[in-house]
Amino acid sequence: MTRVICAVFAFAAFAVCSCTVKPTGTFKSEEHGHSHERDKMLLADAGPYHAALTAHLSSKDGNELDVFFETTDDPPKPAALPITKFKAIAKTADGKEHALEFEPAEKDERKDDPEGKCSHFVAKAGWMKPEDVLTVTATVKIDGKDTTIEWKNFSPKKYAHHED
């Protein structure tokens, strides 16, 4: 009988010790199977969509940043959202912050957007230099919820769709 009790305790101790213990503390998300770069755009997750950030570098017209909301389909399609504008903060590598206000791009640049919705937004960024490295953060209402979108290590030169 003593051997049976000892065996039960030994088995219980072995079972407890062989459990995997997950550490508490920081949470690291897993990669979700796709690149966050495409052509001249840096992608960020935006709720059920992607938000693509690109630069327009122009010595004549001034520098701008463009954001395109799109589906996560392959190939992606424009996702017109019922918002008229949104604000963002661009932080340079030296810690300097710049306020941005994204407004709808010209209608001819987003022809398929229904009235009152927009998939392509533009913000003036006259302070931006091609060699900057930016972190751009915006909070946008998507599907009724405030959604934080962040693009890290954005290089205007690397992600410029236009440069003159």
**Residue ranges per structural domain of the chain:** 41-158
Which pLDDT belongs to residue 35? Answer: 57
pTM assigned to the model = 0.78
Which tokens sit at 11?
């088995």
Question: Would you say 70 and 113 are in contact if contact means Cβ atoms under 8 Å apart?
Answer: no
For 41-158, the fitting CATH number among 1.10.10, 2.60.40, 1.10.260, 3.40.50 is 2.60.40
**Torsion angles phi and psi, residue 15, rounded to 5:** -65, -40
pLDDT string in tens for the chain (164-residue length) = 444 333 433 333 333 333 333 332 222 233 445 558 888 999 999 999 999 999 999 988 899 999 999 999 989 999 999 999 999 999 999 999 999 999 999 999 999 999 999 999 999 999 999 999 999 999 999 999 999 999 999 999 999 998 88
Alpha helices, DSSP H, located in 18-97: none
Work out the burial of residue 95: count CB atoms within 10 Å of its CB; fewer than 13 is exposed, 13-18 middle, 19 or more buried. exposed
Residue 97 to residue 44: CA distance in whole angstroms: 20
Q: What stretch of H or E contains 36?
A: none
Which pLDDT belongs to residue 51? Answer: 98
Residue 123 to residue 119: CA distance in whole angstroms: 14
Residue 125 to residue 4: CA distance in whole angstroms: 77
